[in-house]
C-alpha cells in the first residue's frame, strides 16, 4: 500500500471523499463504521475523523468549535448529531475538552469500561478524597431528580450567584466520568442533561462488568479499523487523552501477540494495521450441485478422525444457547464469543439483512414464495470483529441499518414463513460445519444445531426478565410503558412456547443456567466452565 492509497481509503472511511452524510441512516452507518469521531477538528489536529467533515464530505476548510457559529454547515450537522443522541445510536463524551467526542452505540460499553465510573448507581459525594466537587455532587442530585434538564433550568434550581463558568466545570466533572450525558438540544434552552445510567442502563451495566484490559483492546482494535493504518505513536497519542500511555502500549502489545494487529510498511514507515480476519464461509445459494451440508459435515468429521487420534483433535465446538426473551442470551453469546475467539452467529441479524433487502426491493413480505425467491439470490455474511459482527448483505456493510425498527418489523414478518426458516437454518449449519461458533435463539439446540457439543438453556424468573426489559427500554419511570412491555414479554413467552414450528423448549441434554440472581460476569464464568468441562471430556484441554 502506498501513502496515497492509504489516504484514499481513509477518506472513503471518514466520508471526506465528496460523499457527505445527510440522512439519519447515513449518519448511523458512518458512526458505526468509524466507531468514534470528533464533532469539530482541533488545533493541533487529533488523528480521528470529524462529524462536520463527514457532513461536509471534505476535510478542507472545516470550522473549529470556536468558529462553528459562523459556518452554515454547523447547524444542520448539529441537528443530525442530536438525532443520533436521541435515538441512542451514539453517545457524547468530553475527553478532548474543546469539542464533543461521539461514540457509536456498538462500542460505547467498551468506552465506558475505560473511562466510566464503576459505581454509577450511587450518587457522587463530595469530600477530601472525592474526585467530585460539592457543586458537582449537588448538580448530580438535581439532574437525577429533574432530568432531562436544561442548563438554565439547572442553574435556576441550584440558585445563588452561581456563575455559568462554575456550573460548566461541575457538569464537566460529572461528564468526564460518564455520570451524566447530553441527551437533547433545543435552540432556545440549549443542551439537556440526564443521568447516563437512567438514560441508557444496558451499555452502562455492560461497561461496568468489562475489565479495563478487555475494553481497551476492543477500542484500540476499533480505532485501527477506523484509521486503516497508523504508527504506534499515533495510536498512543490518541488514547492518551483518556488513559495512560503505558496502558495503551500494553493493549497494543496484547493485540499484536494475539495476531489481531500486525505491522505493514507504507512508504518508508512501519505502521500497525488490523490483521485481516479469517474468512467466514459466505451464505449463498450454490450455483452448481455440491454435496449437502450433512454430507460435507460427515466428510470433514471423517477426515479429522482419520488424520488425528481422538485425544489430539482440536476442532472447535458448536455452542447453542437457548432461552426466553430477556434472559440475556444476546449479551452472553456476544461476550462469550469474544472471550473464546468464536464467531457469534446472529440469526436475528441474518433475518434482518433479508428483511432490509425486501424493503429495498419492495418485495411482498407476507408472500412466502417471494421471500424464498429473494433469499435464493442473496448473500449474507457475518464477519467477526473485535467488537461485534460486521453484517454484509451482497457484499455491502449493513450492520447499522439492520438495527432500525422498520427492518426489525420486516424481519419479524418474513421469519414466519417455514421455507425461509429452512433456508436460514441450512445457511447457519453451513457456517457451523467447522465449529468455532456460538448461536443463540429459541430453537438452536433442538432444531438448528441438534448435534451441538455444548447446549445451554439460559433462563430467569419472569419478573426478573420483565424488569430487565423495562430498564432496557428506559421505562422505569413510565408505569404505562412498563406495564405494556411486561405484557408483551408475557405474550411472546406464550407464543414462543406454543408455536407449531420449533417451539421454545430446552434440549434434553442442555445445561440449565438460571440468571435471575447473576450478573453478566457470573453467567460468563458459568458458561466458560461448561465449555471447559466439555473440552476436558473430549481430551482437548
For every residue of 383-429, which 3-state class applies, written as one string?
EECCCCEEEEECCEECCCHHHCHHHHHHHHHHCCCHHHHHHHHHHHH
Burial class (CB in 10 A: 0-12, 13-18, 19+), 244: exposed
Residues sharing a CB contact under 8 Å with residue 206, sequence separation 6 or more, in sequence order? 109, 112, 331, 520
Lowest mean pLDDT among 160-169, 493-502, 505-514: 493-502
- HEC-encoded secondary structure of 468-510: HHHHHCCCCCCHHHHHHHHHHHHHHHHHHHHCCCCCCCCCCCC
Asked if domains 119-208 and 212-274 share a fold, the reply is yes
Euclidean distance between CA atoms 391 and 78, whole angstroms: 28
- Tell me what pLDDT residue 219 has: 94
Asked if residue 469 has pLDDT above 90, the reply is: no
CATH code given to domain 119-208: 1.10.10.10
Distance CA 64, CA 67 (A): 5
Question: If 0-12 CB within 10 Å is exposed, 13-18 middle and 19+ buried, where does residue 485 land?
Answer: buried
Q: Categorize the per-residue pLDDT at 372 as very low, low, confident or very high, splitting at 50, 70 and 90.
A: very high
| Confidence band of 325 (pLDDT split at 50, 70, 90) | confident
| The pLDDT of residue 108 is above 80 | yes
Q: Percent of the chain, pLDDT > 90?
A: 40
Helix, coil or strand: residue 366: coil
User: Which residues touch 227 (CB under 8 Å, ≥6 apart)?
Assistant: 10, 47, 48, 234
Kind plus residue range of the DSSP H or E element containing 233: helix 232-239
| Residues 336 and 438: beta-carbon distance below 8 Å | yes
Closest listed residue to residue 535, CA positions, set 324, 365, 340: 340
pLDDT digits (tens, 9 = 90+) for 193-207: 999 999 888 889 888
Residue given cell 457509536 in the structure block:
104
Over 60: is that where the pLDDT of 293 sits?
Answer: no
Q: Is the pLDDT of residue 254 over 70?
A: yes
Give the bridge partners for 274, in sequence order.
261
The pLDDT-based confidence of 501 (bands split at 50, 70, 90) is low
Instruction: Tell me the C-alpha distance between 479 and 481, whole Å.
Output: 6
pLDDT at 8 exceeding the cut of 90: yes
Assess whether pLDDT exceeds 50 at residue 284. no
Q: 115-124, 244-253, 325-334, 415-424: which range is least confident on average?
A: 325-334
More confident residue, 505 or 199: 199
SS (H, E, C) 416-463: CCHHHHHHHHHHHHHHCCCCCEEEEECCHHHHHCCCCCEEEEEECCHH
The tens digit of pLDDT for each residue in 220-230 reads: 999 999 999 99
Question: Could you tell me what percentage of the chain is helix, strand and coil, using 3-state DSSP and rounding each to the nearest 5?
Answer: 50, 15, 35
pLDDT at 312: 33
Q: According to the model, what pLDDT value does residue 386 have?
A: 60
How many Å apart are CA 382 and CA 432, to the nearest integer?
Answer: 12
Higher pLDDT: 439 or 277? It is 439
- Considering the segment(s) 212-274 as one domain, its CATH architecture is Orthogonal Bundle (1.10)
CA-closest candidate to residue 319, choices 172, 163, 453: 453
Query: Rounded mean pLDDT of 408-421?
Result: 86
Exposed e or buried b per residue across 347-373, where buried means at least 16 C-beta atoms within 10 angstroms of its C-beta: bbbbbbbbbbbbbeeebebeeeebbbe
Please check whether the domain covering 318-533 is classified as CATH 3.40.50.300: yes
Radius of gyration, CA atoms only, the chain: 25
Output 528 or 387, whichever has higher pLDDT. 528
- Rounded Cα gap, residues 85 and 78, in angstroms: 11
Domain boundaries defined on the chain: 119-208, 212-274, 318-533
* Grid coordinates of 482: 412498563
* Window from 280-284, 309-313, 466-470 with minimum mean pLDDT: 309-313
Per-residue model confidence as pLDDT tens digits over 9-67: 999 999 999 999 999 989 999 999 999 999 999 988 999 999 999 999 999 999 998 89
Secondary structure letter of residue 97 according to DSSP: S
- Confidence label for 416 from pLDDT (cuts 50, 70 and 90): confident
pLDDT surpasses 70 at 300? no
* pLDDT score for 538: 81
Mean pLDDT estimate for the chain: 84
Q: How large a percentage of the chain has pLDDT more than 70?
A: 87
pLDDT band at 541 (very low <50, low <70, confident <90, very high): low
Alpha-carbon gap, residue 490 to 443, rounded angstroms: 18
pLDDT of 438 higher than 60: yes
Q: Is the pLDDT of residue 76 over 90?
A: yes
Amino acid at each position: 500500500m502506498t501513502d496515497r492509497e492509504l489516504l484514499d481509503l481513509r477518506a472513503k472511511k471518514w466520508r471526506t471523499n465528496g460523499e457527505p452524510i445527510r440522512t439519519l441512516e447515513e449518519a448511523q452507518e458512518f458512526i458505526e463504521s468509524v466507531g468514534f469521531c470528533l464533532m469539530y477538528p482541533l488545533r493541533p489536529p487529533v488523528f480521528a475523523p470529524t462529524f462536520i467533515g463527514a457532513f461536509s464530505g471534505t476535510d478542507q476548510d472545516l470550522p473549529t468549535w470556536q468558529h462553528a457559529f459562523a459556518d452554515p454547515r454547523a447547524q444542520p450537522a448539529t441537528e443530525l448529531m442530536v438525532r443520533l443522541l436521541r435515538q441512542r445510536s451514539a453517545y457524547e463524551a468530553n475527553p478532548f475538552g474543546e469539542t464533543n467526542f461521539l461514540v457509536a452505540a456498538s462500542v460505547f460499553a467498551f468506552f465506558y469500561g475505560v473511562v466510566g465510573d464503576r459505581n454509577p448507581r450511587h450518587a457522587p459525594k463530595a469530600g477530601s478524597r472525592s474526585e467530585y466537587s460539592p457543586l458537582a455532587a449537588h448538580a448530580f442530585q438535581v439532574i437525577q431528580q429533574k432530568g432531562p434538564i436544561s442548563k438554565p433550568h439547572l442553574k435556576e434550581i441550584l440558585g445563588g450567584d452561581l456563575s455559568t463558568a462554575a456550573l460548566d466545570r461541575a457538569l464537566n466533572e460529572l461528564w468526564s466520568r460518564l455520570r451524566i450525558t447530553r441527551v437533547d438540544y433545543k435552540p432556545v434552552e440549549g443542551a439537556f442533561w440526564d443521568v447516563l445510567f437512567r438514560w441508557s442502563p444496558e451499555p452502562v451495566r455492560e461497561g461496568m462488568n468489562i475489565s479495563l484490559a478487555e475494553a481497551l483492546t476492543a477500542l484500540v482494535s476499533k480505532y485501527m479499523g477506523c484509521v486503516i493504518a497508523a504508527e504506534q505513536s499515533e495510536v498512543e497519542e490518541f488514547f492518551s487523552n483518556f488513559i495512560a500511555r503505558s496502558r495503551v502500549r500494553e493493549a497494543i502489545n496484547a493485540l499484536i501477540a494475539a495476531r489481531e494487529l500486525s505491522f505493514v510498511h507504507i512508504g518508508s514507515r512501519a505502521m500497525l494495521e488490523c490483521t485481516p480476519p479469517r474468512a467466514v464461509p459466505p451464505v449463498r445459494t450454490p450455483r452448481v450441485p455440491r454435496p449437502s451440508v450433512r454430507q460435507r459435515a460427515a466428510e470433514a468429521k471423517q477426515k479429522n478422525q482419520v488424520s488425528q487420534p481422538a485425544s489430539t483433535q482440536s476442532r472447535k465446538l458448536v455452542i447453542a444457547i437457548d432461552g426466553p426473551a430477556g434472559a440475556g442470551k444476546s449479551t452472553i453469546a456476544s461476550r462469550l464469543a469474544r472471550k473464546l475467539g468464536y464467531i457469534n452467529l446472529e440469526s436475528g441479524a441474518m433475518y434482518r439483512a433479508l428483511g432490509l433487502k425486501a424493503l429495498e426491493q419492495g418485495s411482498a413480505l407476507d408472500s412466502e414464495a417471494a421471500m424464498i425467491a429473494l433469499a435464493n439470490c442473496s448473500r449474507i455474511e457475518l464477519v467477526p470483529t473485535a467488537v461485534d459482527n460486521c453484517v454484509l448483505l451482497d457484499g455491502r456493510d449493513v450492520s447499522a441499518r439492520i438495527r432500525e425498527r422498520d427492518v426489525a418489523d420486516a424481519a419479524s414478518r418474513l421469519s414466519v414463513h417455514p421455507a425461509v426458516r429452512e433456508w436460514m437454518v441450512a445457511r447457519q449449519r453451513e457456517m457451523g460445519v467447522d465449529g468455532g461458533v456460538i448461536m443463540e435463539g429459541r430453537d438452536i439446540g433442538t432444531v438448528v444445531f441438534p448435534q451441538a457439543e455444548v447446549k445451554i438453556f439460559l433462563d430467569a424468573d419472569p419478573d426478573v426478565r420483565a424488569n430487565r426489559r423495562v430498564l432496557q427500554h428506559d421505562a422505569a419511570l413510565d408505569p404505562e410503558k412498563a406495564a405494556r412491555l411486561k405484557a408483551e414479554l408475557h405474550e411472546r413467552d406464550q407464543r414462543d412456547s406454543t408455536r407449531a414450528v420449533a417451539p421454545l423448549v430446552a434440549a434434553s441434554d442442555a445445561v440449565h443456567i438460571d440468571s435471575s440472581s447473576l450478573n453478566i460476569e457470573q453467567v460468563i464464568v458459568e458458561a466458560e466452565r461448561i465449555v471447559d468441562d466439555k473440552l476436558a471430556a473430549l481430551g482437548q484441554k
